[in-house]
Amino acid sequence: MTMLENVAKEQKPLIGKSMEDLEAFAQSLGQELFRGRQLFDWIYRKNVYNFSEMSDLPHSFREKLFGIPLHPLRMVNDHVSNSKQTQKFLFELESGEFIESVLMKDGKRVTVCLSTQVGCAVDCDFCATGKMGFIQNLTAGEIVDQFLQLQNIIKDKITNVVFMGMGEPFLNYENTMSAANLLHHPKGVNMGAWRITISTAGIIKKIKQFADDGHPFKLAVSLNGSNEKQRLITMPITKAQSFSELLEASQYYTFKSRKRVTFEYVLLAGVNDHRTDAEELKQILAPMNCKLNLIPYNEINGQYRRPTDTSINKFISSLNNAPFPVTVRWSKGQDIDAGCGQLATISDNHL
């Protein structure tokens, strides 16, 4: 093996590296710093993944780059839902584990739903990812590569990113934030911060850190219950992270960031979809700068059921006079298990 081949073999994939990382990388190959910035431009802004097409890099540099891996993920397959509006993609990680990402089209809006972990430790009773248990964190590169590979194969421009795929983003905080920063970087993908939403099951310390760090991205908190006792039934995390502290932390975020927080509320038949739940929500959320996003449950093979459309509509009308906006996410892609919380993968390692 030549020395060059050795360098290539030992290199971690370039996707996931920041501008500064790529500058240092270029320097390590005997190049000037700006060559790293050029690489950043090709990878994140131009979506070009072939070194021979990176025309403004000198031949001598390109030769050194050949063989260095770019993508940390391998796309395995994709499923298009019946409506053609939703597509689910399966990726393999270097570890041999698998993750899923979902692409959703709605008029001019094209949203990608990214995974941040393989499996999840939070163990919400209604969620397919939770049933897998926690397997591993994704690197920033593995998170960003989901976006880049999808953007590369579809014609439309991706307009929105939601961190609502597999895993709990705030239990992989550093990598998730590096990924979000890369997507937001003005010299790269340049996705507006208001088009990037991070959803958490409510890791209180991290909500506060997110607020203190001054991240510009949108925050969504999965409330899923109208009081402590009820939330505890479906979300055991409530034991360690109490309902009232979660509301306090969310409010802290709204004060610090001067932004609205979105509360997500999965509607589960007979569990949290009663009129009294709507009344409680109105009361507890009234003092907050917030929005409530109702998500009719997407069934997995478990004990929970989606309320009928009539009950869902009743619940919505009970919230008619709420002092905050209420929206409903009529999830797309349930026919291919690509709705919220329906993402789960199993690799040979765990069979």
Q: Residue 304's CB: how many other CB atoms inside 10 A?
A: 17
Q: Single out the residue of 132, 164, 285, 288 in contact with ligand SAH (rule: CB under 6 A).
A: 164
Residue 103 interacting entry, from ligand SAH, ligand SF4, none, C-beta within 5 to 8 Å by type: none
Residue 188 interacting entry, from ligand SAH, ligand SF4, none, C-beta within 5 to 8 Å by type: none
CA-to-CA distance for 6 and 16, rounded, in angstroms? 21
CB 137 within 8 A of CB 124: no
CA contacts within 13 A on the Cβ side of 155: 1
Which range touches ligand SAH (CB under 6 A), out of 79-87, 148-156, 318-326, 340-348?
340-348
Catalytic residue among 23, 100, 142, 299: 100
| 167 is an interface residue for ligand SF4 by CB under 6 A | yes
Across-strand partners of 296? 267
| 339 is an interface residue for ligand SF4 by CB under 6 A | no
Residues 115-144 that bind ligand SF4 (CB under 6 A): 120, 122-124, 127, 129-130
C-alpha angle 162-156-262 in degrees, rounded to nearest 5: 20
Q: Residue 3's CB: how many other CB atoms inside 10 A?
A: 7
Residues 17-56 that bind ligand SF4 (CB under 6 A): none
Distance of closest approach, residue 44 Cβ to ligand SAH, in angstroms: 24
Catalytic, 340? Answer yes
Which range touches ligand SAH (CB under 6 A), out of 30-38, 282-290, 291-299, 308-316?
291-299
Q: What is the DSSP letter of 42?
A: I
What percent of the chain is helix, strand and coil (3-state, nearest 5)? 40, 20, 40
| 161 is an interface residue for ligand SAH by CB under 6 A | no
Residues 227-266 that bind ligand SAH (CB under 6 A): 264, 266
CA-to-CA distance for 290 and 253, rounded, in angstroms? 11
Of 204, 223, 220, 128, the closest CA to residue 167 belongs to: 128
Distance of closest approach, residue 17 Cβ to ligand SF4, in angstroms: 27
The pattern of x and - marking residues 172 through 201 that bind ligand SF4 according to CB under 6 A reads -----------------------------x
Residues 6+ apart with CB under 8 A from 205: none
Active site residues: 100, 340
Residues that bind ligand SAH (CB under 6 A): 126-127, 164, 168, 199-201, 222, 224, 264, 266, 295, 297-298, 300, 339-342
